[in-house]
Amino acid sequence: MVLDEEMIQQYNISSEYIESTKKMQIEEIRRRKEEYPPKEIPLKGKIAILIDDGIATGATMFVAIKAVKKMDPKKIMVAIPVGPPDTVEKMKQEVDKVICILTPIYFGAVGSFYQIFDQTTDREVIELLEKKPRIGK
């Protein structure tokens, strides 16, 4: 679990709220692990490129980075179309390279930079996971 201590203090988020959210997320992770097909992509010695539709706090990407680091890749790169400048700068300290097209000072939310920002369904995720990954040398 990765917590943004600065945000927790800034918005005075209670430990009770954090615990209840943690429990909900753990249940969601369990559900997805059961529903989604297992997929292990060997990253040792490879260049890992993590892609997202954008980052706000970066929490999800920071967790992904932490998980990928355990797989001992040669390099880790992050590619995102949009993110707030401060979060992008923090991310640059965690990986070898961050490519971010737009870093607006007044950020708001990732979805505000899209005309259509539909959520990905479980079915779409499962179909993508069932495809063979492209892995280079």
In this predicted model, what pLDDT tens digit does every residue of 110-134 receive, in sequence order? Answer: 999 999 999 999 999 899 888 866 6
The half-sphere exposure of 83 on its side-chain side, counting CA atoms within 13 A, is: 27
Give the list of residues 6+ apart from residue 94 with CB closer than 8 angstroms, or none. 62, 65, 76
Q: What is the SS3 assignment for the chain?
A: CCCCHHHHHHCCCCHHHHHHHHHHHHHHHHHHHHHCCCCCCCCCCCEEEEECCCCCCCHHHHHHHHHHHCCCCCEEEEEEEECCHHHHHHHHCCCCEEEEEECCCCCCCHHHHCCCCCCCCHHHHHHHHHCCCCCCC
The structure's pTM equals 0.79
Q: What's the mean pLDDT in 14-33?
A: 94
Which residues on neighbouring strands pair with residue 51, listed in sequence order? 79
pLDDT at residue 130, rounded to an integer: 85
- Indicate the CATH number for domain 40-130: 3.40.50.2020
Domain ranges (residues) in the chain: 1-35, 40-130
pLDDT of residue 89: 97
Q: How confident is the model at residue 18 (pLDDT cuts 50, 70, 90)?
A: very high
Distance in angstroms (rounded) separating the CA atoms of residues 5 and 10 = 8
